[in-house]
Structure 1
Amino acid sequence: MENRFTTRLTLNNYGFAGMDASQLGAIKSVADFYQIPLTPTRIYGMTGLAFLHVLDERCIHPNAGPPVPEIYRLARNLGIRIEGIHQFAEGEAFTVLQAEAWDKARAAVDSNKPVFAKHIAQLDQTSVITGYDEVGYYIDSWHTGYQHSEDVIPWNLLGLSLCPCVNCLEERKHSKPRDTTSGIVSLHWADPVAAGDELFTFKEAIRFVLRMNEEAVYEEFGQTYFVGSRAYEEWINAIQHDVVLKFDFALVIEVVHEARSHAKLFLEEMKDQLNMESQKSLEEAIHIYTEISTRTRVLRDKYPYEQLRVLFSAIEKEEMLTILRELSILEKKALALLSEIYSVI
Structure 2
Amino acid sequence: MENRITTRVNLEHYGFAGMDASQLGAIKSAADYYHIAITPTRIYGMTGLAFLHVLDERAIHPNAGPPIPDIYRLASNLGVHIEGIHAHADGETFADLQAEAWNRARAAVDSGKPVFAKNIAQLDQTSVITGYDETGYYIDSWHTGYQHSEDVIPWNLLGLSRCPCVNCALERSQAEPSAATGGVVSLHWASPAAAEDELAAFEEALRFVLRLNTEAAYEEFGQTYYVGPRAYEEWIAAIERDAVLKYDFALVIEVVSEARLHAKLFLEEMKDACSAEARQAVDEAIQLYSEISMRVRRLKEQYPYEQPRELFGRGDKEDLLASLREISVLEQRALGSLQQIQLSL
Fold in common (TM above 0.5): yes
The C-alpha deviation readout for 1:105-145, integer Å capped at 9, x for no partner, is: 00000000000000000000000000000100000000000
Q: Distance in 1 between matches of 2:222 and 2:175?
A: 23
Which residue of 2 is the match for residue 101 of structure 1?
101
1:41 counterpart SS class = helix
Gaps of 5+ in 1: none
Q: Distance in 1 between matches of 2:41 and 2:71?
A: 15
Q: Distance in 1 between matches of 2:131 and 2:178?
A: 26
Which residue of 2 is the match for residue 161 of structure 1?
161
The one-letter code sitting in structure 2 at the alignment partner of 1:39 is T
Which residue of 2 is the match for residue 335 of structure 1?
335
2:122 counterpart SS class = coil
Q: State how 1:56-205 maps to structure 2 within 5 Å.
A: 56-205=56-205
Which residue of 1 is the match for residue 281 of structure 2?
281
Alpha-carbon deviation of 1:258? 0.1
2:265 counterpart SS class = helix
Which residue of 2 is the match for residue 264 of structure 1?
264
Q: Distance in 1 between matches of 2:302 and 2:175?
A: 27
The one-letter code sitting in structure 2 at the alignment partner of 1:268 is E
The one-letter code sitting in structure 2 at the alignment partner of 1:335 is L
The C-alpha deviation readout for 1:205-239, integer Å capped at 9, x for no partner, is: 00000000000010000000000000000000000
1:130 counterpart SS class = strand
Which residue of 2 is the match for residue 247 of structure 1?
247
The one-letter code sitting in structure 1 at the alignment partner of 2:122 is Q
Which residue of 1 is the match for residue 318 of structure 2?
318
For the pair 1:46 / 2:46, whether they are aligned, the reply is yes
Q: Distance in 1 between matches of 2:208 and 2:175?
A: 38
Q: Distance in 1 between matches of 2:200 and 2:49?
A: 17
The one-letter code sitting in structure 1 at the alignment partner of 2:136 is G
Q: Distance in 2 between matches of 1:185 and 1:95?
A: 10
The C-alpha deviation readout for 1:63-110, integer Å capped at 9, x for no partner, is: 000000000000010001000000000000000000000000000000
Alpha-carbon deviation of 1:179? 3.7
Q: Distance in 2 between matches of 1:179 and 1:252?
A: 27
Alpha-carbon deviation of 1:6? 4.8
Gaps of 5+ in 2: none
RMSD (CA atoms): 0.8
Q: Distance in 2 between matches of 1:186 and 1:171?
A: 23
The one-letter code sitting in structure 1 at the alignment partner of 2:55 is L
Q: Distance in 2 between matches of 1:145 and 1:310?
A: 27
TM-score, normalised to structure 1, is 0.98
1:97 counterpart SS class = helix
The one-letter code sitting in structure 1 at the alignment partner of 2:253 is I
1:188 counterpart SS class = strand
For the pair 1:206 / 2:206, whether they are aligned, the reply is yes
Q: Distance in 1 between matches of 2:121 and 2:282?
A: 40
Q: Distance in 1 between matches of 2:195 and 2:50?
A: 19
Q: Distance in 2 between matches of 1:14 and 1:145?
A: 16
Q: Distance in 2 between matches of 1:221 and 1:273?
A: 39
Which residue of 2 is the match for residue 306 of structure 1?
306
Over 6 Å off, 4+ runs: none
Q: Distance in 2 between matches of 1:152 and 1:9?
A: 12
Alpha-carbon deviation of 1:170? 0.9
1:299 counterpart SS class = helix
Q: Distance in 1 between matches of 2:194 and 2:240?
A: 48
The C-alpha deviation readout for 1:275-295, integer Å capped at 9, x for no partner, is: 000111110100000000000
Q: Distance in 2 between matches of 1:19 and 1:292?
A: 19
Alpha-carbon deviation of 1:173? 1.7
1:37 counterpart SS class = coil
Alpha-carbon deviation of 1:174? 1.9
Which residue of 2 is the match for residue 228 of structure 1?
228
The one-letter code sitting in structure 2 at the alignment partner of 1:281 is A
Q: Distance in 1 between matches of 2:199 and 2:247?
A: 39
Count of residues in correspondence between the two structures: 341
The one-letter code sitting in structure 1 at the alignment partner of 2:82 is I
Q: Distance in 2 between matches of 1:179 and 1:208?
A: 37
Q: Distance in 1 between matches of 2:165 and 2:93?
A: 28
Q: Distance in 2 between matches of 1:133 and 1:207?
A: 42
